[in-house]
Chain A
Amino acid sequence: MAESPARTAFAEEALTHLDTLYRGALRLTRDPDQAQDLVQEAYLRALRYQHSYQQGTNMKAWLFAIMRNLFWDRFRGSRKEDVSLDDVGEFVLYDKLKDEGARPEADVLDKLAASEVVKAVEKLPPLHREVVLLVDVEGFSYKDAAQTLGVPIGTVMSRLHRARQQLQRSLYDYAVESGIVRANGGQQVQQ
């Protein structure tokens, strides 16, 4: 079926944000096949509701919102209940490394494998993971992230704060397990 020029132009513009959607879907579902299904469904829905997109507004945020809403509906059930990170406790990786004499602290970051960082992100509860994806990976402002997720800016900030604490704790645990740092005051292991 021949598509209208307007629909084709809209689809082309929407496809310029495909990498953002695919990355987000992959990190949310943690499965390439499910990610592709999710993204395809999101694009089909976006075209169906093209009229609800306001020209000149943030199309990337609009598309991401469609994709993550589908994720919650299709893959997680419609209830946005999530594992709480309230009891994660304060954990600042920089302070931890400094206390343990692993200097310079940034060297530890250089030794962390990218695959382990991805694992740490994917271990976050989805409601917290999606904030990290928007703010840290896609560079969204707090305001755009709040709009995308349909929550107040304060919620974005608190989820981001807790997510980063948990993420840093996971990276620290990995650094200890893999011998990049020694817990409890040991020196950094040269690799």
Chain B
Amino acid sequence: MNCKDCSEKLDRFVDRELNSTEVLELQLHLESCPDCQDHYEFEAHLKRLVKHSCECDTPPAFRDKLRQLLT
């Protein structure tokens, strides 16, 4: 695998959508390529940032109201 192939598969790797053979190939490449490893860590970090930023709790009063309405 070269850096271009790695870059093309990085999104699916971060999303855990590659098959086991592709994962192995990509991991082997990352171990030997600090630039791609750096890029991978950046994309994984960005995905976590989006997740954590968008997380929020349901307002408790709404939760109670809904439970009362439905059960």
Contact = CB atoms under 8 A, between A and B. Distances in A.
B22 to A, nearest CB: 14
Interface string B8-39: 00011001110000000000000000000011
Given A23-B55, A136-B51, A40 B66 contact: yes
Contacts of A23: 54-56
Interface stretch (A7-15, A54-62, A73-81): A7-15
Interface residues of A, number: 45
B2 interface: no
Q: Which of B11, B16, B63, B66 has the most chain A CB within a 10 Å cutoff? A: B66
Contacts, number: 90
Interface in A109-133: 109, 112, 114-115, 117-118, 121, 132-133
A93 B42 CA distance: 9
A137 B51 CA distance: 4
Given A19-B57, A117-B53, A118-B54, A43 B15 contact: no
A109 B56 contact: no
10 contacts: A12-B71, A22-B62, A39-B66, A109-B45, A109-B49, A132-B50, A136-B47, A137-B50, A137-B51, A161-B11
